[in-house]
Amino acid sequence: MDSVKKSWVFRITIAWFALIVFFAIFGPWLPLPKWDQVFDDALSVTPFKQGHLLGTDSNGYDIFSGIIYGARISLFISFTAVFVGGTIGSAIGITAAYVRGKFDYVVSTLFNVVLSIPNLVLSLALIAVLATNVDPNVPTSTGRRIMVLVISLTIVIIPILGRIARAATLSWSNREFVLAARSMGSKDRNIIWRHIVPNVLPAIFAVAFLAIGVVIVAEASLSLLGAGVPDGTSWGSMVARGRNDIEFAPHIIIIPLMCIAFTVIACNYIGDVIRKQLDQRQAKL
């Protein structure tokens, strides 16, 4: 682990995370224009010109502000979906694997059912249904759209992490120390908390970080398909808004894309690091 900590890739990754999390939390208090303030004498300005750090888009919106406000929505959606989905999924998965029997069968079948609908299609369907208002004059508010996005992505995450948790629990619950604890009459709840959860968590974390990357990309894809956050801003909606400008002012779309890619790379990298640690530990056992 120490060698990993010293590697420059690891340091950059952590720095990137720190940066975007800082922006996401403190963005609104930074001395910056609001993301949708129009600078109509500065349209499609390239980075570092006319006082715009990352330039402006074709509407005259400051891209740096957009990135910072967008970090908020993109990170909120992805972290919430993965945290909530991961928690619920793990709880169900661990319980099912520990209890076994009919409950396990039902849970596995349900996981399979949800997993048999491709992620993106499932979230599209959920958004189509949950973000619809019959009354043409009642819009789906940005807040509700974000919540629907979170819920739909959460539902997608539950079986993915649930399965991982279940598989990891299965392999741990037959270990000697678990069996020993059982034979000594420890309560199931204690066994799960003391012996299973600590051992299963790293496996879940490894996949959870990958899942954050997947969710950020899914949010961007949904924006591109017109099912994202329409009149707010997220990195995905910045890409969607700028897709027709790619030829004239590529920075409008490249900058949010780079933010997405960096974040995904960082998540994948951390997931990788955790998995490697895990493999080493298992090799030792």
Pattern 259-278, another protein, x by CB under 8 A? -xx--xx--xx---------
Applying CB under 8 A, which part among 47-55, 163-171, 177-185, 195-203 lies near another protein?
163-171
For 3, counting Cβ atoms within 10 Å of its Cβ (0-12 exposed, 13-18 middle, 19+ buried), the class is exposed
Q: Does 143 bind another protein (CB under 8 A)?
A: no
Among all chains, which residue has been given the structure tokens 């329409």? 230
Is residue 67 within 8 A of residue 54, CB to CB? The reply is: yes
- Candidate residues 18, 25, 53, 129; the one interacting with another protein per rule CB under 8 A: 129
Classify the phi-psi angles of 228: left when phi > 0, otherwise alpha if psi is within -120 to 50, otherwise beta.
beta
For 165, counting Cβ atoms within 10 Å of its Cβ (0-12 exposed, 13-18 middle, 19+ buried), the class is buried
> Who contacts 138 (Cβ-Cβ below 8 Å, separation ≥6)?
none
Is residue 55 within 8 A of residue 238, CB to CB? The reply is: no
Is residue 24 within 8 A of residue 71, CB to CB? The reply is: yes
Q: Does 124 bind another protein (CB under 8 A)?
A: yes
Q: Does 1 bind another protein (CB under 8 A)?
A: no
Q: Does 174 bind another protein (CB under 8 A)?
A: no
Applying CB under 8 A, which part among 14-22, 82-90, 108-116, 198-206 lies near another protein?
108-116
Applying CB under 8 A, which part among 17-25, 45-53, 93-101, 237-245 lies near another protein?
237-245
Q: Does 204 bind another protein (CB under 8 A)?
A: no
For 130, counting Cβ atoms within 10 Å of its Cβ (0-12 exposed, 13-18 middle, 19+ buried), the class is middle
Site for another protein in 43-62 (CB under 8 A): 43, 58-60
Total residues interacting with another protein, rule: CB under 8 A: 68
Chain residues in the site for another protein (CB under 8 A): 36-38, 40, 43, 58-60, 109-110, 112-122, 124-126, 128-130, 132-134, 136-141, 163, 167, 170, 213, 217-218, 220-221, 224-227, 230-231, 239-248, 253, 257, 260-261, 264-265, 268-269
